[in-house]
Structure 1
Amino acid sequence: MGLSSLGIFHTIIGIIAIIAAIIGFIRSGKINLGQITGKVYFYTTLISSLTALGLSSVVGLNPGHILAILIVILIVIAYFLHARRQGNNRARFIENFFLSFSFFLSMIPTVNETLTRVPFGHPLAKGPTDPLIAQTLLVILLLFITGSIYQFRMQRKTNKSI
């Protein structure tokens, strides 16, 4: 596999973030920063995104770095909205969307790296342009869109009842 110590740490933290997000989606239909799974997602995604900046076979700023920076911006804004806009029900729409979008963006390198490395010695995909990666990301995109619509509707119901 050829992962550095930073790569191994980044991978472990990233897996924890994904698990926390999935648990949050299953339990409450969203990544909720008020719950332990949401907090775990926030901090592990922050660490994973920042460590991604130190991982690259290409010198200089590359699309992976830009993606990591965008993810950090999304989760920090979502955290700010959660912490500072408690009474603002409209802010929940943006908070939910930004957290879900950060998860979706995190899945792009995750799918690529996983499918081009696993199983060791005979990976499922040959490279980033492999159709399997595109098909997998399409399924994840459709899940993201469906989930975002669901979250919007649920948040709208919550806002009306308050």
Structure 2
Amino acid sequence: MFGISPLGWVHTLGSLPAIPAAIYMLARNGRIVPRSGSGLVYFISMLIGASTVFLVAHQPVSYVFGVLTLVLLLLGYGVGHTTVLGRATKYVETICLSLTVFLLMLPSVTETLTRVPDGHPLVTDLNSPLLHVAQGGLLLMLIVGLIAQIMSLRKQR
């Protein structure tokens, strides 16, 4: 179904819980909160998705996304356990984890539009205007979201 291999399903279903976990944390807290129940679900799910992309990827850019996601995820979750950055810790954590959401959603939206509905996908060409609008919308949400998160963190001081 949808031209996805069994390993592809492991990748897809393993990373899928990260989406509602991210939406929940962003709606409730305005950011990804690493040290929470939802944060743990997000971390594990993102780790599964980013790690398995190397086994299912067909495009070189997928490997870049996988490595970048893993680096940002580990940095975002690890920076809170150190005092090296001082007051900048929350900013680095928030920016890194917001970028992981973007790196999750960009291929998710692209893959969905190029596979659904099964047999007659909405997008058949990676240069499709619909795909570009969807990806541009995600980029706009990232930019607006990061600005709002940074402003919120500044007000909390």
Q: What TM bracket, shorter-length normalisation?
A: over 0.9
Aligned length: 156
Cα distance in structure 2, aligned partners of 1:92 and 1:108: 24
| Aligned partner letter, 1:155 | L
Cα-to-partner distance string for 1:102-136 (whole Å, 9 max, x where unaligned): 11122221111100001111111112221111100
- TM-score, normalising length: structure 2: 0.93
Matched, 1:34 2:35: yes
Q: Which amino acid aligns with 1:41?
A: Y
What is the one-letter code of the residue matched to 2:49? Answer: S
SS at match of 1:53: helix
Name structure 1 gaps, 5 residues minimum: none
Kindly report which structure 2 residues correspond to 1:68-107, keeping only aligned pairs within 5 A, or say none: 68-85=66-83, 88-107=86-105
Among candidates 118, 142, 153, match of residue 120 of structure 1: 118
- Once residues 128 and 152 of structure 2 are traced to their aligned partners in structure 1, the CA distance between those partners, rounded to angstroms, is 36
Q: Distance in 2 between matches of 1:57 and 1:65?
A: 9
Q: Helix, strand or coil: the match of 1:89?
A: helix
| 1:129-144 alignment runs, 5 A limit | 129-144=127-142
Q: Which amino acid in 2 is paired with 1:27?
A: R
Cα separation, 1, equivalents of 2:39 and 2:78: 14
TM-score for the superposition, normalised by structure 1: 0.90
CA RMSD after TM alignment: 1.6
Please name the residue that 2:3 is paired with: 2
Q: Percent identity?
A: 34
Matched with 1:66 is 64
> Is 2:66 the counterpart of 1:53?
no
- Answering whether residue 19 of structure 2 is matched by residue 14 of structure 1, we say no
| Partners of 2:83 and 2:128 in 1: CA distance | 43
User: Helix, strand or coil: the match of 2:55?
Assistant: coil
Query: Conserved in 1, the CA contact under 8 Å of 2:18 and 2:42?
Result: yes
Q: Deviations over 1:18-61 (max 9, x none)?
A: 11111111111111002111121111111101000101336xxx
Aligned-partner Cα distance in 2 for 1:64–1:127: 17
**1:141 Cα deviation after fit:** 0.9
The answer as to whether partners of 2:106 and 2:138 remain within 8 angstroms in 1 is no
Q: Which moved more, 1:13-22 or 1:95-104?
A: 13-22
Q: Which runs of 5+ in 2 are unaligned?
A: none
Relative to structure 1, the CA distance from residue 85 to residue 36 in structure 2 (aligned partners, 3 Å threshold; closer, same or farther) is: farther
